[in-house]
Structure 1
Amino acid sequence: MNRRRELLTVAEICAELNVSRRTFYEWRAKHRAPKCIRLPNSELRIRRSDLEDWLGDHETD
């Protein structure tokens, strides 16, 4: 997999999860969002693997 595509933007995460940006940042403030990386320009990125792990942790039977 292309390393660059392994890092997702907040917009990509929100689109994939079908949630608003506001919801994502509320989850983040409550420490309920996937693990994020803060870039030197202050933008956030989420590793695809961290998103997949986070989703797995939220699966229900």
Structure 2
Amino acid sequence: MRQTDMLKLPEVLQTVRISRAAFYRLRSRGQAPKLHKLPNGHIRVRRADLDAWLERLAENSA
């Protein structure tokens, strides 16, 4: 897997234009893309998971 396939949380927040608190509220409700915790403790989101999540949001709003 390429490094660009995994996004840092700030990159995700900038892409979807929401705050960290809002993201974690969505996550607590099970409405956020899946997070992956790396062995060093850093959090990443797979680009494919983010794209699929955004697609589901677009479908639900239509």
**TM-score category of the 2 structures, normalised to the smaller one:** 0.7 to 0.9
Is 1:52 matched with 2:51? yes
* In structure 2, C-alpha distance between the alignment counterparts of 1:7 and 1:15, rounded to whole Å: 14
Specify the code of the residue in structure 1 equivalent to 2:22.
T
Per the alignment, residue 5 of structure 1 pairs with 4
Match in the other structure for 1:16: 15
Aligned length: 60
Give the Å deviation of 1:24. Answer: 0.8
* Percent of aligned pairs sharing the same letter: 35
Give every structure 1 segment of 4 or more consecutive aligned residues whose post-TM-superposition deviation is greater than 2 Å.
none
Q: TM-score, normalised by structure 1?
A: 0.86
Structure 2: 5+ residue stretches without partners = none
- C-alpha distance in 2 between matches for 1:49 and 1:37: 13
Deviation at 1:42?
2.3
What RMSD over aligned residues (CA atoms) do the two structures have, in Å? 1.4
